């Protein structure tokens, strides 16, 4: 340490919990040469590590910050604690929050390991390649913000008691977010904004309103465990380039929400005990394949012009397996739908008869709608075998309905009406406020049905999907391997 430049005096602090320990006071100012800190230190103002200089913190050190205390790193910050000798950045006694840490610049360097950062306002990493490993972020507003281009590693950490969010990645940031625990992180555990490219794998999230929320494409989200909250994984404005796979979500209001024209691949997830397993909203048409949805109030809920492809899933033990509303014509095939109280239910706004009368122009075919969304960058190109402009039914042939329902189908035939299918087609005509006349509701066409459960329904084994080769390849490029989510300590 350069004592002449950095140390004004050594005093016995009345600010700290252990008044018998000597504390080094660090004045506000700039560090222009390589420096080291050790022991207990107090920072009251802004300390800037200039480009070309580095600041090393010794194992076991404690750095206390006053209300205006802040570290700005344009050079390097290296803080590596050891087992039994972690490093702590924390607020002085009587200070609710200190200003925080900002690391920025193409030549900046950040390496934190076994470090605790607590009771701060902000922690920003801008345009650098850094790493935070096996550390704890606690009691901040936002745990950590990745901004601008840069490939950082955030792995094996605990992020808890945040007022707003755990971590945020925006403006081109591409961090690896792997193997962390997020607890009680306010509005969202992990947030990805437009034009950010994080890889989110193997994290545990609980006690947060939204576990993971993604805006835009190219953010693979896999192997995460999410418990509770209003939304487990939220997806907005994504195409089929985005993958949400092998996540385990339980006890959420909505386990997975797709909104605003989102059409990601949702594959091999396990969703249990939630109010809604997967919700598609506002023309979102994802590929929902080989998931396990069980013991939810509603396994799949589609509302407002949603047309997801629903194939190869195991959907069982739910109050309602599939609910469709407001001209949402899901493609349902090859699923195991046995053991649900209601298998398919159509809402009152599922009426092509009404829609064709109410619309000022003819309803476009699926192919035409796909081409329009492709041009807007909201879907990937698809080809539809059935290009009929007007939908008059929900096609649900080629599924297994369970032994009990299948016996009823065999008895009643393809035109029968079983109580596990609520489509309203055999009910009287329906009228809508503001529209003259009465209109027929759509029907569920369940024939032909399978006579035994489909082979391979439910999640694939890890490593069996095509997207995994591409996504896991990104891990290997960074020198990391695929990890299982951590356990709650």
Gyration radius of the chain's alpha carbons: 27
- Among residues 291, 300, 305, 331, the alpha carbon closest in space to that of 318 is found at 300
At 438 the pLDDT is 82
CA dihedral 483, 485, 486, 488 (to 10 degrees): 180
pLDDT at position 125 is 93
Q: Encoding tokens for residue 97?
A: 């929050």
CB 220 within 8 A of CB 478: no
Alpha helices in 313-365 (DSSP H): 352-358
| 3 state DSSP class of 352 | helix
Q: What is the mean pLDDT of residues 191-219?
A: 92
pLDDT at res. 359? 57
| pLDDT beyond 60 at 364 | no
Residue, of 357 and 386, whose pLDDT is higher: 357
What local confidence, expressed as pLDDT, does residue 97 receive?
96
On the question of pLDDT at 2 being above 70, the answer is no
Mean pLDDT of the chain: 88
The mean-pLDDT minimum among 31-45, 47-61, 152-166, 211-225 falls in 211-225
Q: Look at residue 372 in the predicted model and tell me its pLDDT.
A: 63
Give CA–CA dist 443/395, Å, rounded.
9
Confidence of residue 377 (pLDDT cuts 50, 70, 90): low
List of long-range contacts for 52-61, beta carbons under 8 Å, 24+ apart: 52/107, 54/78, 54/109, 55/31, 57/87, 57/115, 58/87, 59/85, 59/86, 59/87, 59/114, 60/85, 60/86, 60/87, 61/37, 61/87, 61/88
Q: Closest Cα to residue 322, out of 357, 297, 290?
A: 297
What is the percent of the chain with per-residue pLDDT over 70, rounded to a whole number? 88
* 416-473 pLDDT tens trace: 888 999 987 777 677 877 777 788 888 899 999 999 999 999 999 999 998 898 888 8
Q: What is the pLDDT of residues 274-322, one digit of tens each?
A: 999 999 999 999 999 999 999 999 999 999 989 999 999 999 999 999 9
What pLDDT score does 416 carry?
Answer: 83
% of residues, the chain, pLDDT over 90: 68
H/E element, 167: strand 165-170
The pLDDT tens digits for 174-203 are: 899 999 999 999 999 999 998 898 999 999
Q: CA-to-CA distance for 176 and 213, rounded, in angstroms?
A: 16
In this prediction, residue 369 carries a pLDDT of 62
pLDDT at 363 over 70: no
**For position 361, what pLDDT does the model report?**
43
pLDDT at 43: 97
Q: Which residue has the higher pLDDT, 75 or 3?
A: 75
Contact status, residue 135 vs residue 115, Cβ threshold 8 Å: yes
Helix (H) or strand (E) holding 46: strand 46-49
The predicted structure's pLDDT at residue 6? 38
pLDDT digits (tens, 9 = 90+) for 18-35: 433 588 999 999 999 999
Length of the chain: 489
pLDDT of 10 > 60? The answer is no
- Give CA torsion, residues 430, 435, 437, 443, to 10 deg: -40
Is a pLDDT exceeding 80 seen at residue 244? yes
Contact 130, 150 (CB under 8 A): yes
pLDDT band at 384 (very low <50, low <70, confident <90, very high): low
The total of other beta-carbon atoms located within 10 Å of residue 189's CB is 34
Rounded to an integer, the average pLDDT of 109-134 is 93
DSSP 274-311: -SEEEEEESS---EEES-EEES-SEEEEEESS---EEE
Q: Which of 196, 176, 170, 90 minimizes the C-alpha distance to 133?
A: 176
Residue 441 is predicted with a pLDDT of 85
The span from the CA of 386 to the CA of 372, in Å, is 17
Indicate yes or no: pTM above 0.85.
yes
DSSP for 10-33, written as a single string: EEE-SSSS-TTSEEEEE-SEEE-S
**Nearest CA among 432, 401, 231 for reference residue 322:** 401
Lowest pLDDT segment from 5-19, 121-135, 379-393: 5-19
Q: What pLDDT is recorded for position 210?
A: 98
SS3 3: helix
């Amino acid at each position: 340490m350069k004592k002449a430049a950095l140390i004004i005096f050594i005093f016995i602090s009345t600010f700290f919990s252990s008044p018998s320990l000597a504390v080094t006071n660090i004045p506000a100012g700039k560090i222009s040469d390589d420096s080291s800190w050790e022991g207990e230190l107090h920072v009251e103002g802004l300390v800037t590590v200039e480009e070309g200089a580095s600041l090393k913190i010794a194992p076991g050190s404690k750095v206390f910050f006053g209300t205006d205390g802040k570290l700005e790193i344009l050079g390097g910050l290296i803080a590596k604690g050891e087992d039994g000798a972690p490093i702590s950045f924390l607020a002085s006694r009587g200070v609710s929050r200190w200003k925080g840490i900002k690391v920025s610049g193409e030549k900046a360097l950040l390496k934190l390991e076994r470090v605790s950062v607590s009771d701060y306002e902000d922690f920003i990493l801008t345009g650098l390649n850094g790493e935070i490993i096996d550390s704890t972020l606690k009691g901040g507003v936002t745990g950590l913000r990745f901004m601008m281009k840069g490939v950082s590693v955030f792995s094996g950490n605990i992020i808890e008691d945040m007022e707003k969010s755990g971590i945020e990645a925006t403006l081109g940031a591409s961090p690896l977010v792997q193997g962390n625990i997020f607890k009680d992180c306010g509005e969202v555990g992990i947030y990805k904004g437009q034009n950010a490219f994080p890889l989110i794998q193997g994290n545990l999230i609980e006690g947060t309103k939204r576990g993971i929320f993604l805006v835009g494409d190219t953010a693979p989200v896999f192997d995460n465990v999410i418990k509770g909250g209003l939304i487990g994984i939220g997806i907005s404005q994504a195409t089929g380039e985005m993958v949400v796979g092998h996540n385990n979500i339980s006890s959420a209001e909505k386990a997975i929400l797709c909104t605003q024209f989102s059409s990601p691949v949702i594959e091999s997830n396990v969703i249990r005990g939630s109010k809604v397993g997967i919700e598609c909203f506002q023309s979102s048409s994802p590929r929902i394949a080989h998931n396990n949805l069980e013991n939810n109030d509603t396994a799949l809920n589609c509302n407002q012009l949603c047309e997801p492809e629903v194939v190869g899933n195991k959907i069982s033990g739910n109050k309602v397996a599939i609910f469709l509303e407001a001209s949402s014509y899901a493609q349902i095939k090859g699923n195991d739908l046995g053991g649900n109280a209601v298998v398919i239910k159509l809402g009152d706004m599922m009426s092509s008869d009404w829609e064709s009368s109410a619309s000022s122009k003819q309803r476009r075919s699926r192919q035409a709608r796909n081409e329009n969304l492709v041009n807007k960058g909201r879907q990937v190109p698809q080809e539809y075998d059935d290009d009929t402009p007007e939908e008059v039914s929900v096609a649900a042939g080629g599924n297994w309905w369970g032994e009990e329902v299948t016996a009823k189908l065999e008895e009643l035939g393809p035109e029968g009406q079983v109580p596990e299918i609520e489509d309203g087609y055999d009910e009287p005509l329906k009228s809508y406020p503001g529209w003259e006349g009465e209109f027929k509701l759509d029907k569920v066409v369940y024939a032909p049905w399978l006579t035994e459960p489909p082979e391979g329904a439910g999640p694939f084994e890890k490593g069996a999907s095509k997207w995994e080769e591409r996504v896991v390849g990104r891990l290997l490029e960074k020198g990391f391997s695929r990890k299982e989510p951590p356990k709650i300590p």
